[in-house]
Chain A
Amino acid sequence: MNAAHARGHWLRRALTALVFGFLALFLFLPLIAVFHEALARGWAASWAAVTQPDALAAIRLTLTATLIAVPLNVVLGVCAAWAIARFEFPGKGVLTTLIDLPFSVSPVIAGLAYVLLFGAHGWFGAWLDAHDAQILFAVPGIVLATVFVTFPYVARELIALMQSQGSEEEEAAIVLGASGWRVFWHVTLPNIRWGLFYGVVLCNARAMGEFGAVSVVSGHIRGLTNTMPLHVEILYNEYNFAAAFSVASLLALLALVTLALKSLAEWRLRAQTTPEQSP
């Protein structure tokens, strides 16, 4: 019995060490490498790379696209969750699957799709040209591509949460005479706020970091249609590694903040659901 116990102890240590090795190699080292390379030429050079006009323009564009795409996906995510979690209708399963669709489409294909719609020879290309409007190689195209890849985050999170919560509280409020909007603001929203926050955090991270889809529709015009990830690519391809990693380290910091906020949301969600399970 004692020998078996010792063997179990040994196995436990070996497996833990194996997992630590795997995570160190594939997670921790890349993360450390970003900051190490960013500071290779010192803080001053790193700061200069981040505050250089093209970098600032990229930061501004990334923030603009995110500030448009995330609220759009929040509104539509809440709508989709309300429709799917609160009502029965034919084709509900298909609709839920379609909402998840952007997750399994290559971002490059998403970008290609928008080129086919709005490019010079695309479906709406001639019409856009006649009306002197530009979507591709401009901010609207970048926003559209971002919206496509981030569409599922909020909706998916809220559908699962609202389905698990059920609709008794909302129905009670309606029976007591509250209007639909009042029910949403005072009953639904307080119940789903941490789930919504969780979805927004993930949606925001993906929106700021999206590369493939945005790369296809942006046209890479320096200082004009370059987002932060695209600026990283340009600097890297110019062998300006320290500058590329400096801008990349900003994005890595953003990722760390995202993970912290995500953990907070998970903790609050767990705290919210546990007392309901006890009776």
Chain B
Amino acid sequence: MPTAALTFVSRRAPAVLPGRTLTLGLTLTWLCLIVLLPLSAVTLTAAAPGWEAFWRAVGSPRVIASLKLSFGSALLAALVNLAFGGLTAWVLVRYPFPAKKLIDALVDLPFALPTAVAGIALTALYTPQGWVGRWLAPLGLQVAFAPAGIVVALIFIGLPFVVRTVQPVLEDLSPEYEEAARSLGASRAQVFLHVVLPAVAPALLTGFALAFARAAGEYGSVIFIAGNLPMVSEIAPLLIVTQLEQYDIAGATAIAVVMLAISFTLLLAINLLQGASRAHALGRGGA
């Protein structure tokens, strides 16, 4: 009798799904072939000429200027997106206005519009004859074919990231908390600083990091509007392409490795942040 009960239990307990070896094997093989092998080719080719050659390639003034420009303008664009993306998410979630669904859907346009199309459209807008540029030209502001144009393109590219990471968090944040704080005598600014901001801060940071990472490596939309002047408006990905076209493989891979290193550090930070915000959400749910 006890043996029969035991077999019954052991047969019922873990209903293991099939396909573990097959799917895991295929995934790992594919990942190695498509992603890891090519990226290790970049790293190993950059390392081949030795450290000294690597640092000489990275340390050239033109490379340093391009890296500064890429990461600097990405930072600036991500900061603009942090402010306006957060605000957009707030207005989309909390305020009623006409054609909301349509506008909400259009926020994802930068994800769907090919970057080259975005690049030529923004250039057309910001040249001194363009719809926006003609208002800026009399003020002495040049956007197209100047570093400012790079920031404009990167704002466009990164726009959905902050909105889409903050939006679901705000949807879960009940307005009752803010109303309670208001009825207890807190000012609007205090409610924002002490109730809303702490709740959305992890999502804001994640969106900011995603927008920054995407903007730093962006190529298609930027090259049309930037002007691409070495030392002034030449972004790092463009310099990689230029050096590759001149068969300067060591130079191209050296820049690539520096960019990869910065991106991976960011990716790690994003993952830690997402882990932290998930733990935060779980902790709140449990309390």
In the complex, the answer to whether B106 meets A259 with C-beta atoms within 8 Å is yes
Considering only residues 155-199 of chain A, those with a C-beta below 8 Å from chain B are 167, 170-172, 174-175, 179-180, 183-184
In the complex, the answer to whether B84 meets A148 with C-beta atoms within 8 Å is no
In the complex, the answer to whether A205 meets B111 with C-beta atoms within 8 Å is yes
Give the shortest distance, in Å, between A44 (CB) and chain B (any CB): 21
- Interface presence of B120 (CB below 8 A): yes
In the complex, the answer to whether A15 meets B90 with C-beta atoms within 8 Å is yes
Give the shortest distance, in Å, between A66 (CB) and chain B (any CB): 12
8 contacts between A and B (CB under 8 A): A33-B124, A33-B131, A105-B263, A180-B18, A184-B19, A202-B112, A209-B112, A230-B116
Note all chain A residues with C-beta closer than 8 A to B109.
27, 31, 255, 259
Q: How many residues of A contact B (CB 8 A)?
A: 96
- Interface presence of A67 (CB below 8 A): no
Q: When each residue 92-130 of chain A gets 1 if its CB lies under 8 Å from chain B and 0 otherwise, what string results?
A: 000101111111111111101111110001110000000
The residue from A82, A83, A113, A248 contacting B120, defined by CB atoms under 8 A apart: A248
CB closest residue in chain A, given B114 = A209
Considering only residues 103-129 of chain B, those with a C-beta below 8 Å from chain A are 103, 105-118, 120-122, 124-125
Note all chain A residues with C-beta closer than 8 A to B24.
83, 87, 89
In the complex, the answer to whether B117 meets A34 with C-beta atoms within 8 Å is yes
- Interface presence of B97 (CB below 8 A): yes
Contact segment of B50-58, B194-202, B248-256: B248-256
- Interface presence of B145 (CB below 8 A): no
Note all chain B residues with C-beta closer than 8 A to A202.
111-112
The residue from A12, A104, A210, A252 contacting B263, defined by CB atoms under 8 A apart: A104
Q: When each residue 7-21 of chain B gets 1 if its CB lies under 8 Å from chain A and 0 otherwise, what string results?
A: 000001001111110
Give the shortest distance, in Å, between B240 (CB) and chain A (any CB): 5
Instruction: Give me the interface of A with B, judged by CB distance under 8 Å.
Output: 8, 11-12, 15-16, 18-19, 22-23, 25-31, 33-34, 37, 76, 79-80, 82-84, 86-87, 89, 95, 97-110, 112-117, 121-123, 144, 147-148, 151, 167, 170-172, 174-175, 179-180, 183-184, 202, 205-206, 208-212, 215-216, 228-230, 232-233, 236, 241, 244-245, 248, 251-252, 254-256, 258-260, 262-263
Q: For the complex, what is the distance from the CA of A23 to the CA of B238, rounded to whole Å?
A: 28
13 further interface pairs, Cβ-Cβ under 8 Å (given A248-B114, A255-B113): A27-B110, A76-B26, A86-B19, A95-B27, A98-B31, A105-B217, A105-B263, A108-B241, A117-B37, A212-B115, A229-B220, A248-B120, A255-B109
8 closest Cβ pairs, A-B complex: A209-B114, A106-B217, A113-B38, A211-B220, A180-B18, A212-B219, A255-B112, A108-B237
- Interface presence of B91 (CB below 8 A): yes
Note all chain B residues with C-beta closer than 8 A to A110.
38
Q: How many residues of B contact A (CB 8 A)?
A: 86
- Interface presence of B155 (CB below 8 A): yes
Note all chain A residues with C-beta closer than 8 A to B287.
none
Known contacts A11-B188, A104-B213, A115 near B244 by CB under 8 Å:
yes
In the complex, the answer to whether B259 meets A106 with C-beta atoms within 8 Å is yes
In the complex, the answer to whether A216 meets B42 with C-beta atoms within 8 Å is no
CB closest residue in chain B, given A117 = B41
In the complex, the answer to whether B114 meets A25 with C-beta atoms within 8 Å is no
In the complex, the answer to whether B108 meets A259 with C-beta atoms within 8 Å is yes
In the complex, the answer to whether A180 meets B17 with C-beta atoms within 8 Å is yes
Residue of A171, A172, A252, A254 contacting most chain B CB atoms (<10 Å) = A252
Note all chain A residues with C-beta closer than 8 A to B12.
175
Give the shortest distance, in Å, between B203 (CB) and chain A (any CB): 16
CB closest residue in chain B, given A230 = B116
Known contacts A87-B24, A117-B37, A183 near B155 by CB under 8 Å:
no
In the complex, the answer to whether A107 meets B26 with C-beta atoms within 8 Å is no
In the complex, the answer to whether B106 meets A216 with C-beta atoms within 8 Å is no
CB closest residue in chain B, given A209 = B114
Note all chain B residues with C-beta closer than 8 A to A15.
87, 90-91, 95
Known contacts A248-B121, A260-B105, A105 near B39 by CB under 8 Å:
yes
Q: For the complex, what is the distance from the CA of A167 to the CA of B20, rounded to whole Å?
A: 14
Q: For the complex, what is the distance from the CA of A109 to the CA of B239, rounded to whole Å?
A: 11
Note all chain B residues with C-beta closer than 8 A to A107.
217, 219-220, 237
Residue of B90, B130, B252 contacting most chain A CB atoms (<10 Å) = B252
In the complex, the answer to whether B263 meets A80 with C-beta atoms within 8 Å is no
Note all chain B residues with C-beta closer than 8 A to A256.
112
CB closest residue in chain A, given B118 = A30
In the complex, the answer to whether B91 meets A79 with C-beta atoms within 8 Å is no
Note all chain A residues with C-beta closer than 8 A to B97.
16
